[in-house]
Amino acid sequence: MEDILFTSAASLAQAIRAKRVSSREVVEAHLRRIEAVNPKLNAVAQLAGDAALARATELDDVLARGQVVGPLHGVPFTVKDWIETNDAICAAGIPERRGFVPKRDATVVTRMRAAGGIFLGKTIDNARNDNRVYGACHNPYDLERTPGESSSGEAALIAAGGSPVGLGSDSGGSLRYPAHCCGIATLKPSAGRVPLTGHFPRIDSMIDTRTQIGPLARSVDDLALVLPIIAGPDGRDPGTAPIPLGDWRAVELRGLRVAVFTEFERASPDGATVAAVRTAAAALTGAGAVVEERLPPRIEESWDITLVHWGRVRSYSWSQWRAERQHRLTTDQIERGLFAWGRLQRDMLAFMERYDALLCPAAPGPAQRPQDIAGAEPFVFTLPFSLTGQPVAVVRAATSPEGLPIGVQLIARMWRDDLALAVAKQVETALGGWQPPSLAP
């Protein structure tokens, strides 16, 4: 193959099955790329190079006998350091865990391996644009800017060609904001679509319905490849529902009703971001969708609801109540927050009876320098759809005057992950999607 590094995971899988390239060649190419770019990016927390090469050789031998393990046969993948692996340290940015190796894989990792994927390594999570174990990760389009938090290393490494596809997690925007900053594609699945078993911090549907594990890649095709692999109940996460996943390729764009908005009370994007959303809207109109400007109800309340959620006390033990700190909220504040959260969800469901999808910015502007970031400002557009649990895809739609990627969010009705992927694919196809960073070499 001419360019292994920037070929999609789906195309790599096809090439390996057709024996146009070996799995070992693919893994070797990505290891060389990591060696070249990671000193600048600092995206990799733990590299499993030797084990990946050994597994690639095994899978090449399996293929030589005429057998295919699964849809990812021989394709390497990487994993955010909050998702546990039984053969690599999972520090999750916490110094006390810097040597901790989990006893078992997270469910999603088990499923990726069972599909023939080859675990290549763990990637750094930036929390408040730093990592207390590995240091800060950097943006491949401008090393002085944030790659977004907290699936930071995944987004940066995939954008730079060090990994074809990976897994991250998103509570308030931690898949979507890094994808926006680094110009790649991602999907926050519907709440309850993908099991959270093996995620750290420990999260389930009783603790936080906002958090989801999802794929990151340079193309929407690869998101669609990975989603059915990782989706579905695992018998351990009670919050995962057995909802069938529709075929994204069968979605008819003509006649889809799409509501678009670019600002609300707390959110004022820059001109380039507004233009990117308008261009994406035109791409959907060109495909036959009916697009109109309409602001969903109550999304300006999402910040206050999230503040209350963040203020709640949790137990750091799964078996006994061991509060992490003293309560700072009154019972009345907690109950009012939960009431407002439920009201937001109900009103959004009613709004979505009129629309199949929403289109809006992923962030108010392109990736910032860490010292210029104010609080939760980058997440003002992502927080509402964490609270509603809807599936959300992010895809690159434009480039800022500084040469930085600008992503847009494409939000579908609950459980219509297929529709979110389909409209994101249309925007990607029309506007070009991922573009190589200037990072040398």
Write out pLDDT tens, residues 20-30. Answer: 999 999 999 99
SS3 state at 131: coil
**Positive or negative, the Cα torsion across 21, 27, 28, 34?**
positive
Label residue 292 exposed, middle or buried (CB < 10 Å: 0-12, 13-18, 19+). Answer: exposed
* C-alpha span between 92 and 122 (Å, rounded): 10
Give the up-direction half-sphere exposure of residue 380: CA atoms within 13 A in the CB hemisphere: 18
| Summary mean pLDDT of the chain | 95
Residue 286 and residue 385 in contact, taking contact as beta carbons nearer than 8 Å: no
Of residues 324 and 267, the one with the higher pLDDT is 267
Model confidence at 402, pLDDT cuts 50, 70, 90, reads: very high
Write out pLDDT tens, residues 425-440. Answer: 999 999 999 999 987 5
For the beta carbon of residue 326, count every other beta carbon within 10 angstroms: 6
Q: Where are the domains of the chain?
A: 9-294+355-431
257-260 and 212-217 beta bridge pairing: unpaired
Write out pLDDT tens, residues 204-238. Answer: 788 889 999 999 999 999 999 999 999 999 999 99
Write out pLDDT tens, residues 295-335. Answer: 999 999 999 999 999 888 877 777 788 887 777 899 999 99
**Distant-in-sequence, close-in-space partners of 46: CB < 8 Å, separation ≥ 6:** 81, 88, 89, 121, 122
Q: What local confidence, expressed as pLDDT, does residue 12 receive? A: 98
Model confidence at 409, pLDDT cuts 50, 70, 90, reads: very high
Write out pLDDT tens, residues 180-194. Answer: 999 999 999 999 999
pLDDT above 80: residue 374: no
Q: Please provide residue 405's backbone torsions phi and psi, each rounded to the nearest 5 degrees.
A: -65, 150
Residues acting as catalytic residues: 80, 150, 174
CATH topology of domain 9-294+355-431: Amidase signature (AS) enzymes (3.90.1300)
Write out pLDDT tens, residues 61-89. Answer: 999 999 999 999 999 999 999 999 999 99
